[in-house]
Amino acid sequence: MWALMIGLGALLAALPARAETIRIEGGSYEVLAPEGWNGRAALEFLVFFHGYRANGASIMGNAAIVELADRHGRLLVAPNGRADARGVTSWSHQGSPAQNRDELAFIDAVLADVCARFPIVDEPPVFAGFSQGASMVWDLACQRGGTFGSYVAIGGGFWEPMPASCTTPVGTLVHVHGLDDSIVPLEGRAIAGRWHQADIGQGLERFKSAAECPQPPDELEGDAALHCRTWTSCTAGKIRLCLHPAGHELRLQPLVDLLAE
């Protein structure tokens, strides 16, 4: 059943030669400096979480993600989930069948190590993720909120039990989901009778409540391929929900738009 959550939805290219694996206490991460970087200029960075059974190398091998990071001069950081005894890699977010690591502590360690190795601008990173990696984004956004800057979750959200509330409002949260997603349905689903993906709409209400957003969105835009609702008049932060008619796919356009702002 877990094999259903593998797909990245995009063709993978060969890993760029400049990508590097960094091992730290508790795990490892992949890192890739933007093409043409002179080794001295301060960098912003993009953290991208892989899906179930994937790894950071799969993010580095995704030509679209690498090109996006290069275009915006961002250091690309792809943490690795922890493998179980079978060698299956996943994340230990709230509600996950895997509970192998304190993921918040691990991400703190990754960020500290990145900042020790590279000259980083005094701007919070953008966090993005696909499928189970998007569940990691939601956990970070809910538990750390305004500590970081922006979050883009694609095809994944909370698992049950959902947090009763989120601690602080996010700066910006963008959620992207397919209306025909059967792997992570918008309404949630049970897996093997023991674990449950939560309802995406109910999860978004946690973020809207923390940010004190109005119920109706302030902006509606898009077309049949991608339709977005945006809450901009929240007391703190901005929340955007973008829906497309397809299934469990890696749709990067909302991340492209966010980085271009």
pLDDT score of 17: 65
Of 3.40.50.1820, 3.20.20.70, 3.30.70.100, 3.40.50.2020, which CATH number belongs to 15-260? 3.40.50.1820
Q: Is the per-residue pLDDT at 45 higher than 70? A: yes
Tell me: the pLDDT tens digits for 106-164? Answer: 999 999 999 999 999 988 899 999 999 999 999 999 998 776 679 999 999 999 999 99
pLDDT score of 148: 66
Q: Is the per-residue pLDDT at 12 higher than 50? A: no
Q: Is the per-residue pLDDT at 9 higher than 70? A: no
Q: Is the per-residue pLDDT at 13 higher than 60? A: no
CA distances from 22 to 98, 177, 189, 220, 222 (A): 23, 31, 35, 42, 40
Q: Which pTM was predicted?
A: 0.93
Whole-number average pLDDT of the chain: 91
Q: Model confidence at 168, in pLDDT bands (50, 70, 90)?
A: confident
Please report, rounded to a whole number, the percentage of residues in the chain having pLDDT higher than 70.
93
At a CB cut-off of 8 Å and minimum separation 6, what does 213 contact?
Answer: 231, 233, 234, 235, 239
**Which pair of structure tokens corresponds to residue 86?**
């079978």
Q: Is the per-residue pLDDT at 27 higher than 60? A: yes
Q: Is the per-residue pLDDT at 4 higher than 50? A: no
Tell me: the pLDDT tens digits for 82-115? Answer: 998 889 999 999 999 999 999 999 999 999 999 9
Please report, rounded to a whole number, the percentage of residues in the chain having pLDDT higher than 90.
84
What phi and psi values does residue 141 have, to the nearest 5 degrees? -60, -40
pLDDT score of 14: 58
Mean pLDDT of 215-239: 94
**Which pair of structure tokens corresponds to residue 148?**
């970081």
119 in Cβ contact with 41 (< 8 Å)? yes
pLDDT score of 15: 62
